[in-house]
């Protein structure tokens, strides 16, 4: 299954659960693992998703940035911040700080 579809399906499952459901963390971990597979696919998906779905993923930006160490990923996040100002500024700032490249 295509990464975008997998992510959307997991978000749909997660949204249907109660906020305090202890299994929500399992879905969130799965989202992280899927995105960590390939930085380029992750960038493409982030550029295609609607803000409501991106917000589900934004808590992972710092970890993704730290593990990817990709200038392209950081540029993608900066574009998202320009496109959706004040929606996930702290998450994006933390991701930028986790990137120690040039």
Q: What is the pLDDT along the chain (102 residues), one digit of tens a residue?
A: 599 999 999 999 999 998 889 999 999 999 999 999 999 999 999 999 999 999 999 999 999 999 999 999 999 999 999 999 999 999 999 999 999 876
Q: Which of 60, 82, 64, 81 is nearest to 73 (CA)?
A: 64
Say if CB 69 and CB 99 are below 8 A apart: yes
Pair of tokens at residue 28: 């969130």
Q: How much is the pTM?
A: 0.91
In the three-class reduction of DSSP (H, G, I as helix; E, B as strand; rest coil), residue 63 is classed as helix
Give me the residue spans of the domains in the chain.
3-98
- The pLDDT of residue 102 is 61
């Amino acid at each position: 299954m295509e990464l975008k579809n997998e992510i959307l399906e997991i978000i749909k499952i997660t949204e249907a659960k109660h906020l305090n459901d202890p299994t929500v963390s399992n879905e969130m971990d799965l989202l992280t693992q899927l995105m960590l597979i390939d930085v380029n696919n992750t960038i493409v998906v982030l550029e295609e998703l609607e803000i409501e779905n991106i917000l589900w993923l934004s808590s992972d930006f710092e970890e993704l940035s730290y593990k990817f160490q990709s200038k392209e990923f950081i540029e993608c996040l900066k574009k998202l911040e320009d496109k959706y100002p004040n929606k996930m500024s702290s998450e994006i700032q933390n991701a930028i700080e986790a990137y120690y490249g040039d």
